[in-house]
Structure 1
Amino acid sequence: MLGFYKERQGRWISGVFAGIAKRFVWDPKWLRALFLAILIFVDHKFLLVLAYVALAYFLPYRQTFYAERYGTGPRKRKEAEKIYPWQ
C-alpha cells in the first residue's frame, strides 16, 4: 500500500500517524495536531474518523510490512560448484 505502515513505537491509539510520520521523517505530534485541527473545522467528521479507522484496520505494522517485503530469517547462500583453475 504505497509503502505506508503502522508503527508500534510512539503510537497513541493504533500507530497510524506514527507510521506515516516515520515514512516522511516528520514529527508525529504535528501530524496528530493537523488531524485534530481538520477534525474540528470540517463538517464531515464521520468520514474523517472512518478514514482513520480504515487505515488502522488495513495498514500492516512496520515489522510485518518488512517481513513480507524482504522475508525473514538468515540469508541463504546459493550452492554452487567450486571452480578449480587446475582442472
Structure 2
Amino acid sequence: MSNLYKKRQGKMLCGVMAGISEKFGWDVTLVRILFAVFTYFSVGFGLFLYILLAVLLPYKEDEDSNRYGTGPRHRKEAEIVDDDKDWFF
C-alpha cells in the first residue's frame, strides 16, 4: 500500500490535502492553510506539486478495496453429495 494517497471523503478538489492530513494525523484545515502559505511564498511551485500529486497518487478507498476486497462473496466449489451411497447412516 502506498504511503501517500488521496481521499474521496472530506475532499475539496482532488483529496490530496485530506490524504496528507490523515497520513500525518493533522487537522485538514491546518494542512490546507500550510499549503496556501507554501504556494504563496514559493511562487506557484505548490500548485505544480498539488497537480502532480493529484495525478499520481491513488485513492485510499481504491487501495483498501484492492487489499481487502469488496465484491460479493463467492461460493466455494464442493463435491456433490450422492445420496444413494448412504453416507450418513
Distance in 2, Cα, partners of 1:39 & 1:51? 9
- Structure 1 residue runs of 5 or longer lacking an equivalent are 78-87
TM-score (norm. length: structure 2) = 0.69
Q: Which runs of 4+ in 1 moved over 4 A?
A: none
CA RMSD of aligned residues (A): 2.3
Q: d(CA) in 2 for partners of 1:33 and 1:8?
A: 20
Count, aligned residues: 76
1:26 aligned to 2:26? yes
Name the CA distance, whole Å, in 2 between partners of 1:56 and 1:16.
Answer: 6
1:82 aligns with none
Asked if 1:35 corresponds to 2:52, the answer is no
The gaps in structure 2 that reach 5 residues or longer are 77-89
Q: Partners in 2 of 1:3 and 1:70 — Cα distance?
A: 17
Percentage of matched positions with identical amino acids: 40
